[in-house]
Structure 1
């Protein structure tokens, strides 16, 4: 019984075979995971061979192996980045002390919560994207979608392993709940609202992977600083895979922009939509939507819990070494809120520890600005004067200290009436969504062919040509 889950079927570097109790727990969880994958994973192409990158170890020769494989046979595994000898806690009240190999009793609840929250996001994205294969713009893009899906599922494995290995019965329940919840489900939705929003077309998908997965990057980099070493090592390896998801999103939007410009130039009226493309204002609206949705993923601007998590060494900041002060006892950060009664902004100086969510939100914003600058270089290279803009952090907030107000794209306060009147200027309308769905109505499954609404990438995957059969769809 136990041999059924040995390293031959689950690649791992955690010496899984030496823990019979864990083997039994992982065996049960694995069977439930397979049911989840077939029920709520990609809705098509499960029987097709896909050119996937598979990690079989964390070593350079085993981290990324490429081969055609059917997704249900993908070798999901458990990988922790190599340990750092004599690693010490790099921030908070226990700075300089040895990191933990087991969760301290006084921090078990915070650690379990953090791991479960990260774990909940991984299957959610797979569920949100499960129908996209039926409208893929090319086999190249279909393969990238499915690669993102299997890696998000592997990240679910990583978080579930930590829950099952280190947190007893409570960890078991938390790992089970990761498979019980479902994106958009009325009774058991995913924990965070952004992971219940439908990803109903490929422009949604590219914006999602550009912005929402970038939140994942920030959060994984913060978790990689944790004093709980197994979590830190797991997050470091996950962040390595997450880079591909960001690449898919950023280059995907860039290719949509490239094709939009080409169609605008060929249209007598300068309209990409007239020639089967996506108009630039619609792309801007999708950007506004997903950037504002992801703003809320960082949590409350002022949070005692976030401060305690930092102080106790549970979670740090991305690349903590680049900060001058790793203690953050005395400094403060100015935080703004909206006073609806006074119709005015209020400002308060908050200890940096309590404003840690806002610190991460700021780092995310800087990263996103760089992404938009790179997209604008595509427009500039084609001689267009138009530019994409990142909305204000106040725009379309549903959580936190700004959620009670209404703000224009530049952050200017507007009345509820003006918001209702101008919302269609700023966020995708049903007509916009229908137009995008219309140009994406047909899947392009011939090797080397590309849908009309998106430009081809400059190169293929892993040195393969663009007309390579990245998904073998022939019967």
Structure 2
């Protein structure tokens, strides 16, 4: 079934009305979700009419409807990709067996942990972005923020459905806990550290949606391979929505760069202070923000050697990115992969069993993908005739997890002393002064077609609407 039933209290394409116990459980969770949205969703926005995309089908050819919606009335629901008939497990020790339609008892704890960790990131990012609407650089950007927010909320619904349907009382308790943790809260924080960081300004938001939502893409792609068929079908549809979040990040940073290089050419200068006096974000500051968000995000893939990663793969819970396109035996026993270690003050490759290096395999796939967008940002700079290039820092830079945690490595990949790190870190990571300057630029611009002075307009509007369309109605 590809169409979504909007006559239900909870829109869905999983025949929810045929499972009355599950329907009642989710309908009793719904008020707690709406209270969380009221308390922690976008600040001061509950009365706005927002031009939002709502999923109406899981058919990629025509899956969404655009119209004005008040966000607390958004039709969050449960949507799975259509089932693949006779789907087989295509990796790990169960290769060739029928995919699971229910949770095998021996994998229950690990599957629950995977679903809860993914689910926890969704409300966390809404909480991190809660106040950004108050400083939106345009109505177009404000609408994009709100679209990201409602879709993260729907992704939470996707994970809570799996917890309620397949994990009984444990799942219901986990679903409640997902609404109780808070991003950055000392006594009950979100599970992953990147989701406890502040997103204090729009440059951080664009970097977050480019880098950290891209981690989401890779984690969802790995889960879309899962032998647990309902998880695979759920995450495949989530990926359709996730693509927009990465677009917001990539195009947002690109527009910041465009405005900066235009000002550099207008003033005929690359002097940081002169550019800041002109109210744009200089390229070295952009590089430092890039370094920070990239390094925080690649820690999300976990330790470079991980027995959990090996277990998740061998038992069929979580595959690799694009598992089906890889030309190997999809079991990986006896295969090796190189991970980085530090020996005598130098970074060296170490051969480890590939099963134990699967976090690193996924991280390396992510890094290749991240470089693509940075290359496109550099084209904007190149086209403006400016001899500056943004770079992705070395993967050992500023790491907090795994064998590289706490090792001082420059963005170029040289191991440095603590003293050298302290002397140069202000050139590598955003300083308090950088953050204060970027914050000083943040002021709300909400007239249709107008943009803050530090960002260029987009090339085109949303859903073929003009750039100066009234994307948000402030009632």
TM-score tier by shorter-chain length is over 0.9
Q: Which residue of 2 aligns with 1:334?
A: 338
Shift of 1:63: 2.0
Distance of 1:59 and 1:257 partners within structure 2: 35
The SS at the match of 1:33 is helix
Unpaired runs of 5+ in structure 2? Answer: none
Distance of 1:118 and 1:234 partners within structure 2: 12
Distance of 2:158 and 2:411 partners within structure 1: 38
Q: Which residue of 1 aligns with 2:405?
A: 403
Seen in structure 2, the aligned counterparts of structure 1 residues 139 and 318 have a Cα distance that, compared at 3 Å, is same
Distance of 1:410 and 1:343 partners within structure 2: 15
Q: Is this contact kept in 2: 1:52–1:147, CA < 8 A?
A: yes
Q: Which residue of 2 aligns with 1:450?
A: 451
Distance of 1:76 and 1:404 partners within structure 2: 41
Q: Which residue of 2 aligns with 1:110?
A: 110
Cα RMSD of the aligned pairs, angstroms, is 1.4
Q: TM-score, normalised by structure 1?
A: 0.96
Shift of 1:56: 2.6
Seen in structure 2, the aligned counterparts of structure 1 residues 273 and 92 have a Cα distance that, compared at 3 Å, is same
Distance of 1:239 and 1:169 partners within structure 2: 28
Distance of 1:404 and 1:386 partners within structure 2: 30
Q: Which residue of 2 aligns with 1:388?
A: 390
Q: Is this contact kept in 1: 2:347–2:415, CA < 8 A?
A: no
Q: Is this contact kept in 2: 1:7–1:16, CA < 8 A?
A: no
Distance of 1:278 and 1:335 partners within structure 2: 36
Distance of 2:347 and 2:295 partners within structure 1: 19
Q: 1:31-77: per-residue Cα shift (whole Å, max 9, x none)? A: 11001001011012211000000013313576210000000000000
Q: Is this contact kept in 1: 2:6–2:12, CA < 8 A?
A: no
**Alignment partner of 1:297 out of 300, 303, 314:** 300
Q: Is this contact kept in 2: 1:56–1:77, CA < 8 A?
A: no
Distance of 1:62 and 1:367 partners within structure 2: 27
Q: Which residue of 2 aligns with 1:140?
A: 140
The SS at the match of 2:179 is helix
Q: Which residue of 1 aligns with 2:34?
A: 34
Distance of 1:227 and 1:220 partners within structure 2: 14
Q: Is this contact kept in 1: 2:299–2:399, CA < 8 A?
A: yes
Shift of 1:348: 2.9
Unpaired runs of 5+ in structure 1? Answer: none
Equivalence map 1:192-271=2 (5 Å): 192-267=192-267, 269-270=269-270, 271=274
Q: 1:441-468: per-residue Cα shift (whole Å, max 9, x none)? A: x200001111110010000000100111
Equivalence map 1:165-180=2 (5 Å): 165-180=165-180
Seen in structure 2, the aligned counterparts of structure 1 residues 242 and 6 have a Cα distance that, compared at 3 Å, is closer
How many aligned positions are there?
Answer: 467
Shift of 1:265: 1.5
Q: Is this contact kept in 1: 2:88–2:99, CA < 8 A?
A: yes
Q: Is this contact kept in 1: 2:303–2:401, CA < 8 A?
A: yes
Equivalence map 1:53-202=2 (5 Å): 53-59=53-59, 63-202=63-202
Shift of 1:8: 2.4
Q: Which residue of 2 aligns with 1:431?
A: 433
1:348 aligns with 2:365: no
Moved more, 307-316 or 342-351: 342-351
Q: TM-score, normalised by structure 2?
A: 0.96
Distance of 1:47 and 1:60 partners within structure 2: 31
Q: Which residue of 1 aligns with 2:380?
A: 378
Q: Is this contact kept in 2: 1:332–1:349, CA < 8 A?
A: yes
Shift of 1:346: 5.2
Q: 1:237-278: per-residue Cα shift (whole Å, max 9, x none)? A: 000100000000000000000000011122254343121111
Q: Is this contact kept in 1: 2:10–2:27, CA < 8 A?
A: no
Shift of 1:172: 1.2
The SS at the match of 2:462 is coil
The SS at the match of 1:401 is helix
Q: Which residue of 1 aligns with 2:324?
A: 321
The SS at the match of 2:303 is coil
Q: Which residue of 1 aligns with 2:45?
A: 45
Q: Is this contact kept in 1: 2:304–2:357, CA < 8 A?
A: yes
Distance of 2:6 and 2:107 partners within structure 1: 31
Q: Is this contact kept in 2: 1:144–1:248, CA < 8 A?
A: yes
Q: 1:298-321: per-residue Cα shift (whole Å, max 9, x none)? A: 011111111011001101012111
Q: Is this contact kept in 2: 1:78–1:161, CA < 8 A?
A: yes
Distance of 2:312 and 2:436 partners within structure 1: 44
Q: 1:149-177: per-residue Cα shift (whole Å, max 9, x none)? A: 00000000000110010001111111111
Q: Is this contact kept in 2: 1:80–1:237, CA < 8 A?
A: yes
Q: 1:179-232: per-residue Cα shift (whole Å, max 9, x none)? A: 110000000001111000000000000000000000000000010000000000
Moved more, 120-129 or 326-335: 326-335
